[in-house]
Every structure is written in C-alpha cells, then in structure tokens.
Amino acid sequence: MIHSRNRRLRVNESIRSLVRENVLTTDDFVMPIFVMEGENMQEPIPSMPGIFRRSIDLTVKECKELFSLGVKAVNLYMKVSENVKDNTGKEAWNKNGLMQNTIKAIKDAVPGMIVMPDVALDPYSIYGHDGIIENGKILNDATNDALARMSVSHAEAGADLVAPSDMMDGRVQVIREALEESGFADVGIVSYAAKYASSFYGPFRSALDSAPKDDMEIPKDKKTYQMDYHNSREAMNEVFKDIDEGADVIMIKPGLPYLDIVSKVREAIDLPIAVYNVSGEYAMVKAAVQNGWLDNDKTIIESLTCFKRAGADMIFTYFAKEAAMILNK
C-alpha cells in the first residue's frame, strides 16, 4: 500500500495555490522602454510585436498606463540621432539630452514610478560599442569615467537607480564614488554583474540601431567585455566584485537560458537579484504564438514565474504590461 502520495496536494486549484512556493505579481516587473526624438511619434519594432519606440510625450502616457496596471518601474533606452553620436559618448551626459528630458518628464507625471535609465555608451557611439575605442581596443578606464558622468546626469534628472549594462571592469566603484561625491548617496545601482555575450540580443540592437559596426579596425562583437556563455564560475567572480564595489541590485542577463546562473547567485548572496528576459526571448515566444504553436497568456506567465522560482526578485521584461493585464484579470 502506498502511504506517501504527492498527488494529494495537487487535487484541485485551491490546494495547489495553498502550497504554491512562488507567486508572480505586478510588483515583480520592470518594463524596458524605448524612447525616440519627436512629438506624438510611435514606431513599431518589427522583431518585437507589440513593442514600440515612442517620443517623450507618448512615453509618459505609456508610463501612466503601466502604473495604473501595477507596473511601478521602467528601464529606459534612447534611440538618438546619428548626428550626436561620436567616440566619446558625450551626448550621454547632456543635461538637455533625450534621456535626461525623458527622466524628468516621467518623474513629473508619475512621481511614484521608479525610473532606471540604462548606463552604456552604445546608443551614443559611432561604433555601436559600449566603450570608447582607441587603436582598435575598447578602453576600460576612460569608458568608466564617461559612465560615471552619464550616471550623475541621470541622477540630476531624477533617476531612482542607474543601471550600468556595459561590463567594464571596476565601473560600479567609479559610478558609486561619483554619485556620492555629487550628493546622490540615495541613488542606487543595478549592476549588470553577469551579462553574457549572447545571440539573444538581436531584436534589441535593431530597436536602437546599436549593434557593433562592421569595421575591420574595431572588434566585431562584444566578447572582449561581455561574458563567455560557456562559463558559470566567472559569473560569481563578477557578482562578488560588483557587491564589493557598491552595487545595490545584481543583474543576470539573458534570462531563460541562464536560469542556472540565477539560481547559483541566489544561493550565494542576499542582495536583490534582477534578471533580464531579453528581446530574443520575447521575440521567440511571440513568433511561436503568431504561428499558433504556443498559448500566449499561459506561456508568458509560466516563463516569468520560472524566474521567481530560480530566485529572482525583479524581472526586466517586455512582457511586463501584457503580464500585468493577464494577472489583473
């Protein structure tokens, strides 16, 4: 006779919900948002159905709707004009730049919205790289100085946290010191501690036109600074260094193919963990849904719940708005 039967706790939804280990809520989501120049402008991103580039006024409108749905944090990315791009990234800390004006507009219209601007030079670089280039190499320390200036300008505009996604060595410490010296001790850092050189970023780079340029004199990809996807112990090294340098939140990116890294980091640290459900993951689900191969709502909620199960505290995802609508049903 069988005495131990696990199925007793699966008999119906009430019992299943009573013993459920992880529950997904709108409080878990951070919505990445693409911003463009202009007014009353909205452009679809073909590789990411349902996702748009918007001008500041429509971005503010979107943030109001997100907040009403329970999504209380946004992660900002800019698509700037080609004529402001160079090899220094100086447009990134322009006090009247697109990013700075977007942060101000969102905080004025939705004060409760947590604004996390991306900190990286690739949208502002003529080369599409996250760093300043000299003699065919990405300069680490010079890039850090630029990232620090960028972060301070974001804080001045009203950002709650800055999110350096570049993967330069030591940049968290340089940014932390710059924020402290500028009087922004309360501005947090979401550090992309374990960001892998991944094939899953393709749709994102097309959305911002920020892919590395095909030039024989510069690196053709980002493998000299983003992590090798074959490695996991290296991720722990990066995480511990960023914690020592002053990170407040640790990010793992991409998401679904790297749940082992999320789980491993969760077991090792007590800081909040973020995970990025990246553009390629979004595009794959949407393509399968459009072909009738997957159920849209069920796949979204299951995928996002997997991040919670692995140990993430917050999820950066292009599904945030749609998932909130599903959960609010």
Helix (H) or strand (E) holding 236: helix 233-245
Query: What confidence category does residue 224 fall into, taking pLDDT thresholds of 50, 70 and 90?
Result: confident
What pLDDT digit, counting tens, does each position of 126-150 carry?
888 889 999 889 999 999 999 999 9
Three-state secondary-structure class, residue 274: strand
Report domain extents, the chain.
22-328
Is 281 a known ligand-binding residue? no
Dump the DSSP string for 240-271: HHHHHHT-SEEEEES-GGGHHHHHHHHHH--S
Question: Residue 260 pLDDT > 90, yes or no?
Answer: yes
Catalytic positions: 195, 253
pLDDT at position 177, please?
A: 98
pLDDT at position 221, please?
A: 81
Neighbouring CB atoms inside 10 A of 213's CB total: 12
Question: Residue 207 pLDDT > 90, yes or no?
Answer: no
Residues in the chain, total: 329
Residue 185 exposed, middle or buried by CB count within 10 Å (0-12, 13-18, 19+): exposed
Q: Which residues contact 158 (CB under 8 A, 6 or more apart)?
A: 103, 104, 107, 115
What pLDDT digit, counting tens, does each position of 170-206 carry?
999 999 999 999 999 999 999 999 999 998 988 876 7
pLDDT at position 205, please?
A: 66
The fraction of the chain above a pLDDT of 70, given in percent, is 96
d(CA 61, CA 63): 5
Three-state SS across 126-154?
CCCCCCEEECCEEEHHHHHHHHHHHHHHH
Query: What confidence category does residue 209 fall into, taking pLDDT thresholds of 50, 70 and 90?
Result: low
pLDDT at position 128, please?
A: 85
Across the range 65-87, mean pLDDT stands at 96
pLDDT at position 242, please?
A: 97
What pLDDT digit, counting tens, does each position of 86-140 carry?
999 999 999 999 999 999 999 999 999 999 999 999 999 988 888 999 988 999 9
Query: What is the CATH number assigned to the segment(s) 22-328?
Result: 3.20.20.70
Query: What confidence category does residue 220 fall into, taking pLDDT thresholds of 50, 70 and 90?
Result: confident
pLDDT at position 214, please?
A: 61
Q: Which residues of 265-301 are buried (b: 16+ CB within 10 A; e: fewer)?
A: bbeebebebbbbbbbbbbbebbeebeeeebeeeebbb
Closest listed residue to residue 188, CA positions, set 165, 155, 166, 156: 155
Q: Which residues contact 147 (CB under 8 A, 6 or more apart)?
A: 119, 120, 121, 164, 166, 168, 171, 174, 175
pTM: 0.94
pLDDT at position 123, please?
A: 92
What pLDDT digit, counting tens, does each position of 18-59 carry?
998 999 999 999 999 999 999 999 999 999 999 999 999 999
pLDDT at position 204, please?
A: 75
Neighbouring CB atoms inside 10 A of 136's CB total: 10
| Tokens matching residue 207 | 């959305």
Range list of β-strands (E), the chain: 29-36, 42-44, 52-54, 73-79, 114-119, 132-134, 137-139, 161-164, 188-195, 249-253, 273-277, 314-317
Three-state secondary-structure class, residue 238: helix
| Tokens matching residue 268 | 């090792």
pLDDT at position 294, please?
A: 97
Average pLDDT, the chain: 94
